[in-house]
Amino acid sequence: MLIIKDLRASIEGKEILKGVNLTVRPGEVHAIMGPNGSGKSTLSNVLTGHPAYTVTGGEVTFGGKDLLALSPEDRAHEGLFLSFQYPVEIPGVSMVNFMRAAINEKRKYFDQEPLSASDFLKLMREKRAVVELDNKLASRSVNEGFSGGEKKRNEIFQMAMLEPKLSILDETDSGLDIDALRIVASGVNKLKSEENATIVITHYQRLLDYIKPDFVHVLYKGRIVMSAGPELALELEEKGYDWIKAQVDGE
Amino acid sequence: MKEELNKTDAEKSIISQAATEEYKYGFVTDIETNVIPKGLNEDVVRHISALKNEPEWLLDMRLKAYAHWLTLKQPTWGHIDMPEIDFQDISYYAAPRKKAEGDKGEIDPELKKTFDKLGIPLEEQMRLSGMAVDAVMDSVSVTTTYREKLAELGVIFCSISEAVKDYPDLIKKYLGKVVPYTDNFYAALNTAVFSDGSFVYIPKGVRCPMELSTYFRINAAQTGQFERTLIVADDDSYVSYLEGCTAPMRDENQLHAAIVEIIVEDRAEVKYSTVQNWYPGDKDGNGGIYNLVTKRGLCRGDHSKLSWTQVETGSAITWKYPSCILKGDNSVGEFYSVALTRNYQQADTGTKMIHLGKNSSSTIVSKGISAGHSQNSYRGMVKVAPKATGCRNYTQCDSLLLSDTSGAHTFPVIEVGNDSSVVEHEATTSKINEDQIFYCNQRGISTEDAVGLIVNGYAKEVMAKLPMEFAVEAQKLLSVSLEGSIG
């Protein structure tokens, strides 16, 4: 589904990703862990096409297509979704209008008719339930005045609406209390299938108790320096990153 | 500003590729038009009056206004850069030629086509029910729909020229009473040469059952449009009035200097909404309409209410301050405005709320949006007279910048003459945020659509005040006007 080969990227002339390799197949959950400043968020931004980053080398194919050649919105249409670490507020734009624009743009991309108002509202109701999102939140402006937990739930709600092939959850656990974490994680698990895949970017093992990864990767200094099964996350929780740093820096 | 500079080339190219939709209403109707020769002098004023078979008193008013105008200078206090206008290089009257006899009362098919194209069908059966239209092309009213139906309720809705003939007492009583010719340079000019416009009278106790609207169209070249609107809402009446306007695309600047006067009596309410879409000029700032307008309402009655809502997206230069004189006790004035400028457009707009009556209250919500190299100013005055105790004003004045080459300015004046009145003023300036756009992009929404959404969200509070049908149009207008204007 996603094949990243030797991906290099920089921001403001500073190289952050220094040759990332990663392959994600349908049905898999990958966790990307790593110390601060290792390039985790850069990876999600580069994959989704944030204009502040410049790709300086390597290639990424997504569903057989050259991902890096697509505009950010076309990447979204092709099924790439990012749950933002810091979802932005868009005052005055209701969630309903926002989601309708998003859904209908996607349908247009696939030459489908826009969804009727009643079908759309039905879909909203159905998907709201996935993350127990209050109707009141859904009728408010995008993220405006939402608490940290509400914002993250709103991200997963949007993920449910857009049914992506590959979802990247960027520090989705940050700022969540244990109840909100459980709701968000169970939402993600409900949306999991044999056809889609998830990349969980996280600092801590905590989220991985709820969203079970098939693979755990450690990103350090812009490279994936270690990959293993779920047991690696536990080991990191216990031992921290220093032993990996030492190993890599000692090379 | 930093953010803007950090924008990568990739983003810039996406943005510059964004299709710039051409001004949709820029066509010219090929119709025979009677245009009087260019220039302005006393004979021209007399000629216009004679063309309209006006009574002596009106000619007299025009001549006085003209004599006064000669003593005035074009005002320069606005935050706008406007060349001095050569008032001798403009024709002051242009009328689509009447068709041959035998077609009495019929509208010229070309005119009909023009208004169809503008989305204003003139046949009543084709109109969306619930809206009557006075269609004004250049200097004359072409037709007014639903007149008979409205007349059954005693509502008068006709062109001001007809009103002068048919309701001379009302016109004499009210014309020039809220905006006298001595008011300002353009008011004097308008009073001297005004050609047509709309007249509305809502009798006591009548709630006008449909929206009344005037659609102004400039067609002829090298002419100015000087129309006049007069609305009188008698005791306990209500009317919602809409105004729309467009003009062809031309390299020259054309002048539009209108006067709108509104009188609101006891417990009456008038809602006046404008969607101003005059040709704004091209992307390099050539051509476009100079929209220099005096709009003012007098809330004469106790508990009377006047609400101005305007969406200003057109014109090369906009200079207008729809105002309320709150004379009646407990009277209410409102001003809701969205002004969008892009390319080299300039807008200096706002309102005046003059509190003369006790416990009168006013609300001002102004949202400026500046893109490209445009300049967008809010200019407002809130004045509370010493005897007007217990008054209240709330002003919110927001500016949104879409580029680092545009400007947003505010010029508020507040004068409160007593201790029991409360006046609040809030102002914000913000820039459209790259992260908001990327968030939309990531959800599959293109940059142009994202900007449209964000700007409409920003303007929502004002848009919500527009009548339904108008609001949808205005929303589209905001999105379309913005295409390709970021960065």
Total tally of structural domains belonging to chain A: 1
> Could you tell me the residue range of the domain that residue A52 belongs to?
2-250
In a domain, B459, yes or no: no
| Contact (CB<8Å) B439/A158 | no
Closest listed residue to residue A214, CA positions, set A228, A225, A204:
A228
Answer whether B120's CB lies under 8 Å from B133's CB. Answer: yes
pLDDT (tens digit per residue) in B46-71: 999 998 899 999 999 999 999 999 99
Residues of B within an 8 Å Cβ radius of A: 6-8, 10-11, 14, 433-436, 438-447, 449, 453-454, 456-461
3-state secondary structure of B13: helix
Spell out the residues 6+ positions from residue B472 whose beta carbon is closer than 8 angstroms to its own.
none
Structure tokens at B414: 């507040």
> Could you tell me the residue range of the domain that residue B309 belongs to?
32-432
List chain A residues with pLDDT less than 70. Answer: 251
CA distance B4 to chain A (A): 11
Tell me what the mean pLDDT of segment B443-472 comes to: 85
| Contact (CB<8Å) B445/A73 | yes
CA distance B380 to chain A (A): 25
Residues of A in contact with B438 (CB under 8 A): 50-51, 72
* pLDDT for B168 beyond 60: yes
Note the pLDDT of residue B20.
Answer: 37
Closest listed residue to residue B483, CA positions, set B456, B454, B447, B457:
B447
**Which of B8, B428, B432, B439 is the best mutation test for A, with the most CBs of A within 10 A?**
B439
Partner residues linked to A142 by β-bridges: A90
Total tally of structural domains belonging to chain B: 1
CA separation, residue B448 to residues A114, B314, B322 (Å): 19, 19, 31
The rounded distance, in Å, linking the Cα atoms of A106 and A79 is 9
B40, amino acid identity: L
Size of interface A-B (CB pairs under 8 A): 87
| φ/ψ (deg, to 5) at A191 | -85, -10
CA distance B458 to chain A (A): 6
| Owner of token pair 């606005």 | B78
Tell me what the mean pLDDT of segment B320-328 comes to: 96
pLDDT band at B22 (very low <50, low <70, confident <90, very high): low
What's the burial of B316, exposed, middle or buried (CB within 10 Å: 0-12/13-18/19+)?
buried
| Owner of token pair 């005046």 | B352
The rounded distance, in Å, linking the Cα atoms of B144 and B312 is 25
* pLDDT for B426 beyond 50: yes
- Per-position b or e across B222-252, b if 16+ CB within 10 A of its CB: ebbbbbbbbbbbbbbbbbbbbbbbbbbbbee
Note the pLDDT of residue B247.
Answer: 67
| Contact (CB<8Å) B443/A91 | no
**Which of B436, B437, B442 is the best mutation test for A, with the most CBs of A within 10 A?**
B442
pLDDT band at B25 (very low <50, low <70, confident <90, very high): confident
Answer whether B154's CB lies under 8 Å from B112's CB. Answer: no
* pLDDT for B454 beyond 80: yes
Closest listed residue to residue B10, CA positions, set A56, A19, A60:
A56
pLDDT (tens digit per residue) in B73-132: 998 888 888 888 888 988 888 877 665 444 445 677 777 777 777 766 666 544 444 667
Cα B348 off chain centre by: 13
Note the pLDDT of residue B182.
Answer: 94
Note the pLDDT of residue B248.
Answer: 67
Note the pLDDT of residue B214.
Answer: 83
Answer whether A121's CB lies under 8 Å from A92's CB. Answer: no
Closest listed residue to residue B465, CA positions, set B335, B344, B345, B302:
B335
CA nearest to A53 within chain B: B8
The rounded distance, in Å, linking the Cα atoms of B199 and B190 is 16
pLDDT (tens digit per residue) in B231-285: 999 999 999 998 886 666 767 778 889 999 999 999 999 999 988 888 888 888 8
**Which residue spans within B18-120 are E strands per DSSP?**
33-35, 94-96
Nearest by CB to residue A91, choosing from B442, B443, B457, is B457
Beta strand pairing status for B288-299 and B317-320?
parallel
Inform me whether the C-beta atom of residue A88 falls under 8 Å from chain B C-beta atoms.
Answer: yes
Answer whether A146's CB lies under 8 Å from A61's CB. Answer: no
Q: What is the CATH number of the domain that holds A213?
A: 3.40.50.300
The rounded distance, in Å, linking the Cα atoms of B249 and B24 is 9
DSSP letters of B371-387?
-TT-EEEEEEEEEE-TT
The rounded distance, in Å, linking the Cα atoms of B315 and B348 is 11
**Which of B439, B443, B462, B475 is the best mutation test for A, with the most CBs of A within 10 A?**
B443
CA nearest to A91 within chain B: B457
Nearest by CB to residue B443, choosing from A52, A91, A162, is A162
B261, amino acid identity: E
Note the pLDDT of residue B223.
Answer: 78
| Contact (CB<8Å) A51/B438 | yes
Answer whether A106's CB lies under 8 Å from A77's CB. Answer: yes
Spell out the residues 6+ positions from residue B269 whose beta carbon is closer than 8 angstroms to its own.
B233, B237, B238, B239, B304, B305, B306, B307
pLDDT (tens digit per residue) in A113-144: 999 888 998 999 999 888 888 888 777 899 99
* pLDDT for B15 beyond 50: no
Answer whether B94's CB lies under 8 Å from B48's CB. Answer: no
In a domain, B469, yes or no: no
- Per-position b or e across B138-147, b if 16+ CB within 10 A of its CB: bbbbbbbbbb
Nearest by CB to residue B438, choosing from A12, A50, A105, is A50
**How much is the CA Rg of chain B, to the nearest whole Å?**
22
| φ/ψ (deg, to 5) at B285 | 85, 15
B401: left (phi over 0), alpha (psi -120 to 50) or beta: beta
CA nearest to A158 within chain B: B443
Tell me what the mean pLDDT of segment B322-333 comes to: 97
Residues of B in contact with A71 (CB under 8 A): 14, 441, 446
Note the pLDDT of residue A5.
Answer: 96
The rounded distance, in Å, linking the Cα atoms of B369 and B190 is 29
Residues of B in contact with A48 (CB under 8 A): 442
| φ/ψ (deg, to 5) at A78 | -70, -10
Note the pLDDT of residue A178.
Answer: 85
